[in-house]
A and B are shown apart, each in its own frame.
Chain A
Amino acid sequence: METESHRLVKKAIKGNKGAFEKLVQEHYERIYRTAYLYVHNEADALDVVQEATYQAFTSIHSLKNPEYFSTWFTRIVIRCSGRVLKRKNNVVPLSDEILSNLPGQANVYIEESLQLLNAIKQLKENYRTAIILFYYYDYSIKTISSVMEIPESTVKTYLSRGKAELKKSYNEEEGKCHG
């Protein structure tokens, strides 16, 4: 699998649109959810997907090492999300849309998940990026440092502060629910 996706990346670097499209499609869920974690609504998340695809395809020729495709693309998604956030500057309630989009069956974890997602939403952008890359992408501190273009020590700081804040707001939410 690894070599196949490498070959695809190499093809994409040479300008093969089909190969590029396949690569992006392979990770469509992760890409979309990452965007969503920043922008919190479907329309903007789709905008991010579109813009990131565009930017990535028009600059993939500059990608020197095929093995960095995934982190490179992630960086573009995060950057595009950040731009949308800056442009909008307004807060859209996260839970309503997710609730209305959820499949019919009952899910006991939903409420907890929503609390957690809402807690992620409260995080400062840098902390949020570090947290998403560490927990959702399973990236190493080293990889996160290269994606975010910050020193590893800073990544560690962001992670521990992010976690502390998450815990705080998560517990507060929980407290509110039970109280």
Chain B
Amino acid sequence: MDNKEMKAAIEQIPVPKEKVFEAIEKGLTKASQGGHSKKKKVLAGSATAAALLGITLASGFINPTMNKVLANAPLIGALFQEFDDSTGVNLANQDAVTVLNQSQTKNGVTVKLTSSYFDGNIISITGFVDEDVEKGHNEKGEVSFDLNFEGNKGDHDPWLGISHDIRKVKNGYNFQWKTEYPYEKIPDQFTLPVTIHSINGIKGEWNFDIPFQQDKNTTLAIEQEQAYPDDGVKIKLEKILTAKASSTLTYEIVEKYKGDDIYIDKAVDDKGKVYRFDNGTDLSESTQKDGFHSTVRRAMTIVDKDISSLTFYPTLSFADPKVHQLLDKKTFTLNSKRFDLGVQVNDVTQKGEELVIDYQLTGLPKNLSQRKLETINQNLEYLIWLVDKDYLAKIDPENPWPPKNHGVPFNKVKLIDKATAHFQSTFDLNGQERIENFKLGNTMFLFDFSSFVASKELKPFTVELPKKE
């Protein structure tokens, strides 16, 4: 046995690429919902005046069913296949893609737009940028656009929920931008002005007016409400719009606790076909007597015409506002506002540039598994914050992170005793994230219980679909 043999053997293990990429994606999504990445959002927001779209070249994988579809697709379909965009391929087959031929050259860089489509709430733009972008400050194989739509400035642009992809081609790069139509009423056609401020740091500007059009969607009004009184949430399905290659579900969520997150994972029809959902657009939000209302519109797999019912599978992840206590005492107890959970602080000691807090968690299930305990241990590293008391009100609720130089959002955790859920957290007072002029008596201890409560799969519910004429 040598290492060649060993490697050859290991390489026999088949790798399901799409599933692995999906797992990576899920891990990242989970991270975005946790504490750390929120900081990154803040950094990104303050560091870049305008939204920078970092686009990275990745090799695309081709879905076999799409190859079949493509056999009949016109040339433009090949472009969508490159981007693994089945909606695009489907539309190309139906001759529902607008072919564009607009090009502009600024500072030696030519940008050419090649197509646009509009299907339900999905918008796509494809184009080409020549290899002179490589003279910009990005690495080879990377293209990043700084752009805005409709004359908007910076991040305040409803169109910027964009996803983007590029493919290296001869003499340059093909790119695709996809986003959701951001406004409530979906028109049949409109023109979208786009301004590319810079590409890889090379200044433009490149300006285009992009036409979009689609045939009238068919609308299926549902108007059905599903309430989960024990969990304090309601889902009201409003309608399903069906376009040529996708459908769009609009629904309202009513939550007793603002910040709860209801997510419809999938829907299954009466024939067993599974429907998946894309990201959504928040159409409206309001606080009313019965709770916090929000209306969401999400693209989904195109709904078959001849089905009679759809069953929806929602998941609820719970919000629980952070609780806090001024560190002017060494022992205190804090309890969750919503769940039967608490933290009992036994001691607070400052040792030079470190602050050590000794505490026990209460209300956790007995006999926690080792794995669960390790997760808790890991989570505790960012569930406790120290924040300068004068800056507590300055934490942005939309993007919660301690104000720079006025908070410590991480700590090192040590398990003291498993049976009594006894831990010790050590905060580095002189780290990258710190509190200027740290004084124990001016420091607020914040604790977040929400991650101790697992998200819950709500009971699936079925809607009968009205018969279409």
Q: Spell out A's residues near B (CB within 8 Å).
A: 4, 7, 14-22, 24-25, 28-29, 31-33, 36-37, 42, 46-47, 49-55, 57-59, 61, 83, 86-87, 98, 101-103, 107, 109-110, 112-114, 116-117, 120, 131-132, 134-136, 138, 163, 166-167, 170
Contact = CB atoms under 8 A, between A and B. Distances in A.
Nearest to A138: B3
Given A24-B24, A87-B371, A57 B11 contact: no
A20 B58 CA distance: 12
A14 B39 CA distance: 10
Given A54-B30, A57-B28, A18 B56 contact: yes
B27 A33 contact: no
Contacts, number: 147
A117 B10 contact: yes
A42 B16 contact: yes
A46 B10 contact: no
Contacts of B227: none
A19 B370 CA distance: 33
B49 interface: no
B10 A49 contact: no
Interface string B137-160: 001110000000000000000000
A36 to B, nearest CB: 5
A33 B10 contact: yes
Contacts of B30: 50, 54
Interface of B is mostly: helix
A42 B140 CA distance: 35
A19 B7 contact: no
Nearest to B432: A61
B26 interface: yes
B72 interface: no
Contact of A86 (B12, B13, B371): B371
Contact of A17 (B20, B23, B32, B139): B32
Contact of B1 (A21, A25, A37, A116): A116
Contact of A47 (B10, B23, B28): B23
A57 B10 CA distance: 27
B279 to A, nearest CB: 15
Interface in B56-97: 56, 58
Interface in B364-386: 369-371, 374, 378, 382
Contact of B23 (A4, A53, A110, A120): A53
Interface in B418-450: none
B37 A15 contact: yes
The 8 closest A-B pairs by CB, nearest first: A53-B27, A15-B40, A113-B9, A54-B27, A135-B6, A116-B9, A49-B23, A50-B23
Given A19-B56, A24-B24, A58 B382 contact: yes
Contacts of A167: 1
Contact of A54 (B31, B55, B374): B31
Nearest to A57: B31
A32 B15 contact: yes
A52 B15 CA distance: 17
Nearest to A109: B8
6 contacts: A25-B58, A50-B26, A53-B26, A58-B36, A113-B12, A117-B12
A16 B28 CA distance: 11
B371 A112 contact: no
A170 B140 CA distance: 46
A15 to B, nearest CB: 3
Contacts of A24: 24
B10 A37 contact: yes
Given A32-B13, A37-B10, A138-B3, 4 more contacts: A21-B56, A28-B17, A33-B10, A163-B1
Contacts of B382: 58
